[in-house]
Amino acid sequence: MKEIVTANYAIAEAVKQAVPGVIAAYPITPQTEIVERIAQYVARGELACDYIPVESEHSAMAACIGASAAGVRTFTATSSQGLLYMHEMLHWAAGARLPVVMANVNRAVGPPWNVWADHTDALSQRDTGWLQVYVATAQEAYDTTLMAFRIAEDKEVLLPVMVNLDGFLLSHTMQDLETVEPGSFIPPLHLPHAIDPAHPAAYAPLTGPKDYYRFRWEMEKSMRAARRVITRVEKDFAGRFGRRYGVTEEYRCEDADILVVAMGTLAREAEVAVDRLRAEGTRAGVMRLRWFRPFPTLDLTGREVVVIDRDYSFGFGGVLARSLCSAARIEPFSVIAGLGGQEVTYEDIASFVRERRPGEEYWFGVKGDV
């Protein structure tokens, strides 16, 4: 079925088709529409699940952890300060190997208060053990949420997944959506370490120096295995429904001498910039990074790279740019742009490429025009 909807609606529809047993949520702009629509589905009898309206985001994740530990499929959604309030529980969910799926509508963090798009909220949680994927359309938000349940619940992974989408730029923008048949893609959940009241057991949450590192290593092994599982699930999805995804999405990269690398909607805006640059004779392309955790292996040898970060790690640099410096061994032109919803047009992005300075960092709007 085809519809014209927001990305928030698209995610709510995907969650309905995944049929989680427990949804715990607390409203926060610009995520609220996701949990409002899910609550409507439950109230109308369109989704049979326990919907828990909690008093905080910390409690929302705690409730998901409890339900998931009992072997129940769970979902929640949040944004910005709400995600930060969950921080402690994010570590618990990943460390307990619970396949919780969460939508995070990317929004700047305060102070000062700001409700517009910014990736700092999610990237500040990058070391909690959650898989992170960043989408750029309503259709991709829907498809990726469905795949997130499959990936998180795979026996080789059993780690939570965070689906990230830009606030307002996606969450409240109307786009095409084509849905799939309910129950046609996600199998029943089988959590091997689920708590079973029929077989009581004692659980000790305290682990000493002798064994703690082993738990960390098991998480890392699963994060590495997630690369294979992501590829397998995306291939299966493409075979069933014809929509193909990968760890990156490339646009006019085949013969490109210069690559613009970004995440989310900025990467889609960069496609228009690349078309303009091509018309000028500059062989540029766009690489949109979808999966940030696990971080992909990328070969950028022999190309100049312009990285656009809608985030910043103070005292270190743009998170995506610094990650590429480490993983791909490159020295890109690092552009910090779009923080707190700052407008960045395709013309701006084209100017970043024209005036690139490899190895340098540039704050758009602060150090003067490029």
Q: What does the pLDDT look like over 221-271, one tens digit per residue? A: 999 999 999 999 999 999 999 999 999 999 999 999 999 999 999 999 999
Instruction: Give the pLDDT band of residue 288 (cuts 50, 70, 90).
Output: very high
Q: Are 264 and 166 in contact (CB under 8 A)?
A: yes
* Averaged pLDDT of the chain: 96
Overall size of the chain counted in residues: 370
The answer to whether residue 44 scores a pLDDT higher than 60 is yes
Give CA–CA dist 236/232, Å, rounded.
Answer: 6
Residue 275: phi and psi, rounded to 5, are -60, -40
The answer to pTM > 0.85 is yes
In the chain, where do the E strands start and end? 2-5, 22-25, 50-53, 74-78, 101-106, 131-134, 161-166, 175-178, 248-251, 258-262, 284-289, 291-293, 304-309, 333-336, 361-363
For the cut 70, the answer to whether the pLDDT of residue 370 exceeds it is no
Per-residue pLDDT reduced to its tens digit, 174-196: 999 999 987 779 999 999 999 99
**pLDDT at residue 368, rounded to an integer:** 59
Give burial (CB, 10 Å; 0-12/13-18/19+) of 6.
Answer: buried
pLDDT, position 254: 97
Mean pLDDT of 285-309: 97
Mean pLDDT in residue range 276-305: 97
Residue 32 pLDDT level (bands cut at 50, 70, 90)? very high
Tokens for 20? 């989680």
Answer whether 2-241 and 248-363 agree in fold.
yes
Q: Give 224-261 as a DSSP string.
A: HHHHHHHHHHHHHHHHHHS----SEEEES-TT-SEEEE
Q: What does the domain layout of the chain look like in residue ranges? A: 2-241, 248-363
- Sign of the alpha-carbon dihedral angle for 328, 334, 338, 344: negative
pLDDT of 293 above 60 = yes
Residue 197, pLDDT score? 86
pLDDT level of residue 202 (50, 70, 90 thresholds): confident
Rg of the chain on CA atoms, in Å? 20
Q: Chain centroid to CA 214: how far?
A: 27
Tokens describing residue 363: 């704050």
- HSE-up of residue 8 (Cα within 13 Å, Cβ side): 24
Q: Give 123-146 pLDDT, tens digit per residue.
A: 999 999 999 999 999 999 999 999
Euclidean distance between CA atoms 103 and 321, whole angstroms: 24
Backbone angles phi, psi at 54, to 5 degrees: -85, 175
Q: What is the arithmetic mean of pLDDT over 365-369?
A: 73
Q: Residue 321 and residue 335: Cα distance in Å, rounded?
A: 8
The DSSP symbol for 317 reads B
Q: How far is CA 72 from the centre of its chain?
A: 22
Q: Which fold has domain 2-241?
A: Rossmann fold (3.40.50)
CATH of domain 248-363: 3.40.50.920
Give yes or no for residue 58 having a pLDDT over 90: yes
Nearest 10 degrees: Cα torsion 352, 358, 359, 365: -20
Neighbours of 153 (CB within 10 A): 24
Which whole number is the average pLDDT over 87-98? 98
Q: How far apart are CA 257 and CA 304, in angstroms?
A: 6
Give me 44's structure tokens: 């109308």
Beta strand residue intervals within 179-303, DSSP E? 248-251, 258-262, 284-289, 291-293
pLDDT at 369 over 60: no
The pLDDT value recorded for residue 226 is 98
